[in-house]
Amino acid sequence: MSGLNSQQAGQGPVFIMLHGLFGSLDNFRSVSLHLERSLTVLRMDLPGHGLSPSLPTLSIEAMADAVLAEIDQLGIKEFHLLGHSLGGKVAMSVAGNPSCQGLQSLCVVDIAPRQYKPHHQPIIDALQALDLQQITDRRDADLQLRNAIPDAGVRAFLLKSLYRHDSGHFDWRFDLQQLATDYPLICRPPIVNRTIEPPTLFIKGGDSDYLGADDETGIKAVCAHPSLKIIVGAGHWPHAEKPAQFTRICQEFLSHV
């Protein structure tokens, strides 16, 4: 497999950012602009997302292996790692891999190391039902998805990854077919093969139900030094909904590592 697509900017310690399911490195663009003043921010497209190549199996562990290989390929010796949602699961798998060297800290955004119900299945079904050959523009796609995906914010997020081929037809920047096939694997908890020793911060959206008090036991089972910050008034995308507060939390955490 060729390397993952990434963008790097700024100066200082290396801070690697991993997006969530159906996302891309662009999801952290606005936050990274502030962080780049004191950090070398490396935003990475997960396998099967954005401009990164896909994999025969898009499991959490296969994605983590690809991220580790990319870090090694780039010659990065020490780094801080952040992952949102699926990216958070991948980040935990990276941190818990015995071959992971040089990790200074871990940030996990609105996800826990546990099994989740397949609540993205209606979205996957709607995207697979969309006839990309017949779409004329993004507005047309938005109209066709409206009944199945009533949340306008979710549709807008998904449609960021819709692009037009040179042929004139539309396609997704993520590998929809492989993600649909491997979605049960993505719902599983990440495999953490060793205790995550570096300081680990869990950031929860106050209005989100992805991360709860019940997750404390599971978190302490895999992380030696976990802490928690809650962003009041934010949902599952706190970095997009409350970017200034999110950035401050990251900066404060990293300054004490």
Domain ranges of the chain: 6-116+188-255, 121-182
Q: How far is CA 50 from CA 45, 87, 226, in A?
A: 6, 13, 30
Q: How sure is the predictor about 148, in pLDDT bands with cuts at 50, 70 and 90?
A: very high
Q: How sure is the predictor about 212, in pLDDT bands with cuts at 50, 70 and 90?
A: very high
- CB–CB of 5/73 below 8 Å? no
| Pairwise CA distance, residues 68 & 93, whole Å | 10
Average pLDDT of every residue of the chain? 96
DSSP 8-state assignment for residue 111: -
Q: What is the pTM of this model?
A: 0.97
Q: Is the pLDDT of residue 165 over 90?
A: no
In the chain, the percentage of residues whose pLDDT exceeds 90 is: 95
Q: Which two tokens stand for residue 88?
A: 């958070």
Mean pLDDT to the nearest integer, 149-164? 94
**Residues with Cβ within 8 Å of residue 59, at least 6 apart in sequence:** 182, 185, 186
Specify the pLDDT at position 42.
98
Q: Answer with the residue of higher pLDDT: 165 or 12.
A: 12
Q: How far is CA 221 from CA 100, 215, 218, in A?
A: 19, 10, 5
Q: How sure is the predictor about 40, in pLDDT bands with cuts at 50, 70 and 90?
A: very high
Burial bucket for residue 71 (CB in 10 Å: 0-12, 13-18, 19+): buried
Check residue 123 and give left, alpha or beta (phi > 0: left; psi -120 to 50: alpha): alpha
- CB–CB of 171/199 below 8 Å? no
Mean pLDDT to the nearest integer, 223-252? 97
Residue with tokens 């997302």: 49
| Pairwise CA distance, residues 233 & 214, whole Å | 21
Q: Is the pLDDT of residue 15 over 60?
A: yes
**Residues with Cβ within 8 Å of residue 187, at least 6 apart in sequence:** 115, 116, 117, 118
Q: How sure is the predictor about 2, in pLDDT bands with cuts at 50, 70 and 90?
A: low
Mean pLDDT to the nearest integer, 84-93? 98
Q: Is the pLDDT of residue 246 over 80?
A: yes
Q: How far is CA 225 from CA 193, 198, 216, 220, 257, in A?
A: 16, 7, 12, 8, 11
The closest of 121, 118, 127 to 173, measured between CA atoms, is 127
| Pairwise CA distance, residues 238 & 47, whole Å | 23
Specify the pLDDT at position 168.
84
Domain 6-116+188-255 has CATH 3.30.1330.20: no
- CB–CB of 222/195 below 8 Å? yes
Mean pLDDT to the nearest integer, 168-196? 96
CB atoms within 10 A of CB 202: 23
Specify the pLDDT at position 250.
97
pLDDT in tens, 104-137: 999 999 999 999 999 999 999 999 999 998 898 9
| Pairwise CA distance, residues 147 & 5, whole Å | 33
Specify the pLDDT at position 43.
98
| Pairwise CA distance, residues 168 & 251, whole Å | 43
